[in-house]
């Protein structure tokens, strides 16, 4: 995957930043809490990152319309149940449905999902993208501040070993630069 999500033709949703950092046996997904409508902050503390699936062994973060994201979370949970917790298979099946189903194809969101094995970006275009790893580190980011967080995390990964510290600092950088991102971070960790 290229560094810039825009190079894939993916839509950059305004109003959030989500970052995933996977290093060694630890994966972190973090997101800010700001919900914006135009130039107005509607809510500063939304929870855009959560655990899903049986045993909550999958973490997911979304950028986009909240109702659409909750629909996708529910669908992904059903796919995880159908495929016995296999995230890659569940994600591919969700992406197929998302692209072809008349109702789902109108949903406006992007997701980063991860378990102890894999981290993926899911899109309404039917994409299931696994970020390219540099050594034992993989980083993905979506949303209006995604490119800022991605750049910060890539720079920090050369000097910091802890993916949680990388994600928190990258979110802080995005909050300083992107007006659609704030510093109220929700973070979930999966260890393998």
- Residue scoring higher pLDDT (43 or 152): 152
Instruction: Please list, in sequence order, all residues whose beta carbon lies within 8 angstroms of the beta carbon of residue 141, skipping any fewer than 6 positions away.
Output: 5, 17, 18, 19, 20, 112, 147, 149, 150, 153, 170
Cα separation, 136 vs 44, whole angstroms:
34
Catalytic residue among 16, 17, 27, 181: 16
pLDDT over 90 percentage in the chain = 61
User: What structural domains and CATH numbers belong to the chain?
Assistant: 5-181 (3.60.20.10)
- Is a pLDDT exceeding 70 seen at residue 144? yes
User: How far, CA to CA in Å, does 11 sit from each of 107, 119, 136, 170?
Assistant: 12, 19, 28, 21
137 in active site: no
Cα separation, 101 vs 104, whole angstroms:
5
Question: 176: which DSSP letter?
Answer: H
Asked whether the beta carbons of 65 and 124 are under 8 A apart, the reply is: no
Cα separation, 118 vs 87, whole angstroms:
8
With bands split at pLDDT 50, 70 and 90, how would you rate the model's confidence at 39? confident
Question: 105: which DSSP letter?
Answer: G
- What is residue 91's predicted lDDT score, i.e. its pLDDT? 95
Instruction: Kindly report the average pLDDT of the chain as a whole number.
Output: 88
Residue 86 tokens read as: 């296999």
Cα separation, 117 vs 190, whole angstroms:
9
Question: 133: which DSSP letter?
Answer: E
pTM of the model: 0.88
């Amino acid at each position: 995957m290229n560094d810039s999500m825009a190079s894939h033709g993916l839509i950059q949703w305004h109003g959030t930043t989500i970052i995933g950092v996977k290093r060694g046996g630890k994966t972190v997904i973090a997101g800010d809490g700001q919900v914006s409508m135009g130039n107005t902050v509607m809510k500063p503390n939304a929870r855009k990152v959560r655990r899903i699936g049986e045993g909550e062994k999958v973490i997911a973060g979304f950028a986009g319309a909240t109702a659409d994201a909750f629909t996708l979370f529910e669908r992904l949970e059903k796919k995880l149940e159908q495929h016995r917790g296999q995230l890659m298979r569940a994600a591919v099946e969700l992406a197929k449905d998302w692209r072809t189903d008349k109702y789902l194809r109108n949903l406006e969101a992007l997701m980063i999902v991860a378990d102890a094995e894999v981290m993926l970006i899911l899109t309404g275009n039917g994409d299931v993208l696994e970020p390219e790893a540099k050594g034992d580190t993989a980083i993905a980011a979506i949303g209006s501040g995604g490119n800022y967080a991605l750049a910060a995390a890539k720079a920090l990964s050369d000097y910091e070993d802890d993916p949680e510290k990388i994600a928190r600092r990258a979110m802080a950088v995005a909050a300083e630069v992107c007006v659609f991102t704030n510093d109220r971070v929700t973070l979930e960790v999966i260890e393998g």
